[in-house]
Amino acid sequence: MRTRQEIIEQVNNILEEEFEVEQSEFAPDASLKETLSLDSINLVDLIALVQITYKITIPVEDVKKIQTFSDLYDYIEQHLEQ
């Protein structure tokens, strides 16, 4: 099982590579959409990346709850344990 720090590091590496934004821009309470300049298509890409990487399913209703980097880390951490 991965630790929270491992999840954060891996997620940040993936996001930096995929969305070409420096990790120094990532803050736990920062908006994912604003920081990564996500439109609806990029958001789908982000969710798909997380689902494939962590082998979890993120229902549409849960996507709306994931607003910040911390929300994303929390969601992955909680669903990896199931």
Q: Could you read off the pLDDT of 67-77 as tens digits, one per residue?
A: 999 999 999 99
The H or E element that residue 57 is part of is: none
Residue from 73, 71, 67 nearest 10 by CA: 73
Map tokens 């607003």 to a residue.
67
Contact between residue 28 and residue 70 where contact means Cβ atoms under 8 Å apart:
yes
**Full-model pTM:** 0.93
Distance CA 69, CA 26 (A): 7
Helix (H, G, I), strand (E, B) or coil at 31: strand
Helix (H, G, I), strand (E, B) or coil at 15: helix
pLDDT tens digits for 20-73? 999 999 999 999 999 999 999 999 999 999 999 999 999 999 999 999 999 999
Residue from 65, 9, 1, 69 nearest 35 by CA: 69
